[in-house]
Amino acid sequence: MELNTIKPPAGSKHAKRRVGRGIGSGLGKTAGRGHKGQKSRAGGYHKVGFEGGQMPLQRRLPKRGFKSHLLKFNAEVNLTDLQRLATETGVAEVDLLTLKQARLVGELAKVVKVIKSGELTMKVVLTGIGATAGAKAAIEAAGGSVGGSVG
């Protein structure tokens, strides 16, 4: 076998369909485009969602909802996560960097808030992290404190 004798397997290659080349080809005259209309003409087509001039569906429906682009910078941590962090690492001082290293919040997070979900029995001191009223009460009941909260 030589490089100049290599051929592709039978049936793997096929000729490009040549339309508009006479009756005998089976694709002459209108070249498979039917008769008249926008689709039959060169360069004639329409954008996605176009309904022939009728008000398209995506414009007939009401606009609804809003998603803030700032959401990616906010994060929340629950009491169960704090409990696990305190037991596994033995850390009593919790700040934004500690939570990022423990992968409890994303790398982009700038504002973190503790929510009251789960239980907390260990003493935890929060610095630079906010807490909801219920979470703050739970943390203080466990002997911890929420200081320098952000929000």
Interval 6-39: pLDDT, tens: 999 999 999 999 999 999 999 999 999 999 998 8
The verdict on residue 13 lying in a domain is no
Interval 39-62: pLDDT, tens: 899 998 889 999 989 999 999 999
The verdict on residue 114 lying in a domain is yes
The verdict on residue 97 lying in a domain is yes
The verdict on residue 36 lying in a domain is no
The verdict on residue 135 lying in a domain is yes
The verdict on residue 142 lying in a domain is yes
Interval 76-99: pLDDT, tens: 999 999 999 988 888 789 999 999
Domain that holds residue 91: 71-147
- Tell whether the torsion through CA atoms of 85, 89, 95 and 99 is positive or negative: negative
CATH number where 75 lies: 3.100.10.10
| Largest CA-CA distance found in the chain, in angstroms, rounded | 91
The verdict on residue 107 lying in a domain is yes
The verdict on residue 65 lying in a domain is no
pTM > 0.85: no
Count of beta carbons in the 10 Å neighbourhood of residue 138: 22
Percent helix, strand and coil across the chain, each to the nearest 5: 30, 15, 60
Alpha-carbon gap, residue 135 to 115, rounded angstroms: 5
Count how many domains the chain has: 1
Residue 106 and residue 126 in contact, taking contact as beta carbons nearer than 8 Å: no
- As a whole number, mean pLDDT of residues 97-124 equals 93
Phi and psi, residue 51, nearest 5°: -120, 40
